[in-house]
Structure 1
Amino acid sequence: MPIRSFLPLAALLSLATAAQTPFRPQQPAEHISAAVNYEALFSAPTINGPYGASNAFSDDSWSLMSFGYADPLRCFGTDKETPFDVAIIGAPFDTTTSYRPGARFGPMGIRQGSRRMHIGSINVPYKTRVTDHLHVVDCGDVPMTFVDNKVAIRQLETANADLVQRSSATAFNGSSIAKDGKFHPRVLTLGGDHTITLPLLRGVAKVYGPVSVIHFDSHIDTWRPGTYEGGPWLPGEEVPVTHGSYFWYAAQEGLLAPNNTNIHVGIRNALQTWGDYENDYEVGFVISHAEDIEEVGWRGIVKRIREVVGENPVYITLDIDVLDPAQAPATGTPEIGGFSTREIKQILKGLRGLKIVGADIVEVAPAYDTQAEITQIAAANIGWDILALMAETPLSD
C-alpha cells in the first residue's frame, strides 16, 4: 500500500492524542517571575528617542497616544490639581459645518499625525526644545454632544475656561499680561469645525480681555447671520452660529481687539456680494489674500501681520484649508491655490515674539485624507511649531 494511504489515519491518531493531552507550552524562567523592572524595560532610549525624563516609564504611565507624546492628564478628573503650562485638548465637533462633515474625528487624526514627533525633541528652525520651557499635557477630548450645537459649544466653553483660569506650573519672570496679574496655562485645541473658535475666545477673553486674532484660512468666516425670504427660519427665529459666522458673533460679544487689529491670512474664497468685504471690515479684520505671497513673499505677509496686531495679546486660529488641497486634502471646504507646508512654516516662524495666549487647529477631516495621512501630519507639525512659539515667549511684560 502506498505511504500516502496511511496519512489520513495518521492525522486522526494525532488529533485523538492531542485531545487527550493538554498543550502546556514551556515558559522561560524570566516570564515566571513577577519581579520585572518595567521602568527599565520600557524606558530604553531606543523607544521614541532619548528625550529625557518625560520619556521615562513609571508605575503611573498611561501608554496612550497623546499629541507628540505629551503627558496624558485627566484634567477634569483625578488629575485636576496637577499644574501645567499648556493643555492640548480635542474638540470632536462638526455639526455646524456647511459642506463635508468629518472634522469631529480631527483631534485623534492630528494625534495620529504626531506619532513621529516628540515635544521633547529640538525644533531646529526655532532652535528650541518646548519641554525646556513649558510643561505640556494632553487632556484628551472634551465630551461634546452631537445632538445639540448649543450644548456642545457650552461644553467646550466651560472646559476651556476652566483650564485657562487655573494657575500655570511655571512662574515666569516679569509681570503677567493677564488681567489678574497671575500666570495662567495656555490651550492648544485640536478641532473640530471652525465654530469652536467662538467658545475658545470666550474663555481667553475672561483672562486677557479682547485679543487680536491671526486667522489662517481660505474663508473669511465673518458672514452676518440672517434669515432669507422663503428660507426655513420663521420670523424672529434665531439663526444658529456656524463655521462661517462665528467671528461675527465674537465681534458682537467684544472678544476681538478693536481698531481692526485682527487679520485673515490666506483668503481666496468666493463671495456672495462685495458687501461681504465691508461687513468683514466692520467685524474688525483686515485681509491678506493667498495670492499676496506671489508678490510680497512670506516675509511680506509676516510684516503685514505684525503691523496689524502690534503688541496686542494674540490668538492664532488655523483652518487646515489655508494649505493647498494638494498638500492637505482632508478638509471640509477645500480651495485650490493655498499655501504650501513650507510657506506656512516660514510664516509661523516669522511670528516669534508675539504673545500668543492660545491657539487652535481646525477642520481636519481624516476620512478624506490619503493613505499617507498627509493632512494629519501637516496639522500635527503646525501644532508643534505653535508650541515652539509659545515656549519662546512667556506671557509677561
Structure 2
Amino acid sequence: MTSAFLELGSRPPAFAHSTNPKPKLLTLGGDHSIALPALRALNKIYGGPIAVLHFDAHLDTWHPAKYPSAWPSAQSDFTHGSMFWLASNEGLILNGSSAHAGLRSRLLGWEDYEDDERQGFLRISADDIDEMGTAGIVSAILERIGTDTPTYLSLDIDVLDPGLCPGTGTPEAGGWTSREVIRILRGLEPLNIVGADIVEVAPAYDGTGEQTALVAAQVGFEILTSWVGRGMIEIEKAKDKDDRRQASGDGKDEL
C-alpha cells in the first residue's frame, strides 16, 4: 500500500497550479491501520513529517505491548490501535501539531495518556463539544495545526455515536452526531489537508437502512468539496497577487 500511495501521490494532479502542485489522496477503508502506509508515502512526498488530525473514539497511539499477541512478531505489532505509535516512532507525525477529536474510550491506565503525549497529540474528548460547541472544536483544531501545515485527516466512523452509525467494529456510546461531525469538517476547510481516510466502516454490522455507509459517503463528499473550496480560494489569492504585480509593473512578462 505504501508503494501504491507513493506512486499516486507523486503524479501530477489533473488540475495543477502553483498552490497545489501535488494530488490529494482520499482512502476508503477498511481497517484503520491503512493510515500507516499512507503516512509513510506522504512523508516521502512532502519530505518530512506531517500533522495528523484524527477523529476517533479511541487514541490509536497505543504501544503494541498493551495488546499482546499469542504469537509475538514484528507483524503482530501492527494493528488498528498501534499504527500511530508506529508512525510516531518512524518520525512520520509532526509532534506538537497533531490532534485527536471525539475521544471517549476506556483506558488501561494513565500511561495511555503518557504515550499519547509523547507523540504530541492534542486531545479533544467527545464531551468537550457540550461546553465548546462545534465552533469551539474547530477553533481548537485550527489553532493547534494551523492552515499551512501539510495535514493527514483520518476519520474513524466510530467517532459518531453507534445509535447513528452502528456499522463499525468497536462502537463506543456517547459519540457525536453526523450533523456535528459534518459541521466541524466544513469549519476545517482552511486546513492544508494533503491526504485523508474514512475507515472502520463494517457493512456486516450496519442497519437495514445502511445509515453508517450513508454517513461515511457524506463525510467523503465533505472532504472532497473542502479540497475544492480551499483550492478555489488559493487560486483567487494567487490571481490577485499576479494582478497586483502586473499593476505595479513587476513581472509583466511572466504571463
TM-score for both structures, normalised by structure 2: 0.86
Q: Secondary structure at the match of 1:163?
A: helix
Equivalent residue, structure 1, for 2:179? 342
Structure 1 residues 300 and 275 mapped into 2: Cα distance closer, same or farther (>3 Å)? same
Structure 1 residues 357 and 232 mapped into 2: Cα distance closer, same or farther (>3 Å)? same
One-letter amino acid of the structure 2 residue matched with residue 220 of structure 1: L
Q: Does 1:255 align with 2:92?
A: yes
CA distance, structure 1, for counterparts of residue 66 and residue 83 of structure 2: 16
One-letter amino acid of the structure 2 residue matched with residue 213 of structure 1: V
For 2:115, which of 275, 279, 300 is the aligned residue? 279
Structure 1 residues 247 and 371 mapped into 2: Cα distance closer, same or farther (>3 Å)? same
Q: Does 1:305 align with 2:150?
A: no
For 1:390, which of 211, 217, 227 is the aligned residue? 227
Number of paired residues? 231
> How big is each residue's C-alpha offset from its partner over 1:126-156, in whole Å with a ceiling of 9 and x where there is no partner?
xxxxxxxxxxxxxxxxxxxxxxxxxxxxxx2
5 Å-filtered alignment, 1:3-14, equals none
Q: Secondary structure at the match of 2:52?
A: strand
CA distance, structure 2, for counterparts of residue 250 and residue 393 of structure 1: 27
More helix by share: 2
Q: Does 1:203 align with 2:41?
A: yes
CA distance, structure 2, for counterparts of residue 300 and residue 203 of structure 1: 32
Structure 1 residues 184 and 344 mapped into 2: Cα distance closer, same or farther (>3 Å)? same
CA distance, structure 1, for counterparts of residue 140 and residue 190 of structure 2: 15
Q: Does 1:184 align with 2:22?
A: yes
Structure 1 residues 228 and 375 mapped into 2: Cα distance closer, same or farther (>3 Å)? closer
CA distance, structure 2, for counterparts of residue 205 and residue 345 of structure 1: 28
Q: Does 1:374 align with 2:219?
A: no
Moved over 3 A (4+): 394-397
Unmatched 5+ residue regions in structure 1? 1-155, 177-182
- Report deviation, 1:226: 2.3
- Report deviation, 1:284: 1.9
CA distance, structure 2, for counterparts of residue 227 and residue 263 of structure 1: 22
Is the contact made by 1:317 and 1:359 (CA closer than 8 Å) also made in structure 2? yes
Is the contact made by 1:327 and 1:340 (CA closer than 8 Å) also made in structure 2? yes
Q: Identity of counterpart residues, as a percentage?
A: 48
Equivalent residue, structure 1, for 2:248? none
Q: Does 1:164 align with 2:9?
A: yes
Is the contact made by 1:356 and 1:389 (CA closer than 8 Å) also made in structure 2? no
Structure 1 residues 341 and 175 mapped into 2: Cα distance closer, same or farther (>3 Å)? closer
Is the contact made by 1:227 and 1:233 (CA closer than 8 Å) also made in structure 2? no
> How big is each residue's C-alpha offset from its partner over 1:194-228, in whole Å with a ceiling of 9 and x where there is no partner?
00000011111111131111100000000011288
Is the contact made by 1:313 and 1:357 (CA closer than 8 Å) also made in structure 2? yes
Q: Does 1:295 align with 2:147?
A: no
One-letter amino acid of the structure 2 residue matched with residue 219 of structure 1: H
Equivalent residue, structure 1, for 2:193? 356
Is the contact made by 1:263 and 1:288 (CA closer than 8 Å) also made in structure 2? yes
5 Å-filtered alignment, 1:1-397, equals 156-172=1-17, 174-176=18-20, 183-208=21-46, 209-226=48-65, 232-233=70-71, 237-238=73-74, 239-258=76-95, 260-310=96-146, 311-394=148-231
Unmatched 5+ residue regions in structure 2? 239-255
CA distance, structure 2, for counterparts of residue 273 and residue 245 of structure 1: 16
Structure 1 residues 389 and 225 mapped into 2: Cα distance closer, same or farther (>3 Å)? same
Q: Secondary structure at the match of 1:263?
A: strand
Is the contact made by 2:16 and 2:22 (CA closer than 8 Å) also made in structure 1? no
Is the contact made by 1:212 and 1:262 (CA closer than 8 Å) also made in structure 2? yes
Equivalent residue, structure 2, for 1:68? none
- Report deviation, 1:175: 4.6
Is the contact made by 1:211 and 1:256 (CA closer than 8 Å) also made in structure 2? yes
One-letter amino acid of the structure 2 residue matched with residue 210 of structure 1: P
Q: Secondary structure at the match of 2:163?
A: coil
Root mean square deviation, CA, Å: 1.8
One-letter amino acid of the structure 1 residue matched with residue 105 of structure 2: N
- Report deviation, 1:299: 0.7
- Report deviation, 1:184: 1.8
CA distance, structure 1, for counterparts of residue 170 and residue 56 of structure 2: 10
Equivalent residue, structure 2, for 1:3? none
CA distance, structure 2, for counterparts of residue 278 and residue 222 of structure 1: 10
Q: Which has the larger radius of gyration?
A: 1
Q: Secondary structure at the match of 2:195?
A: strand
One-letter amino acid of the structure 2 residue matched with residue 190 of structure 1: L
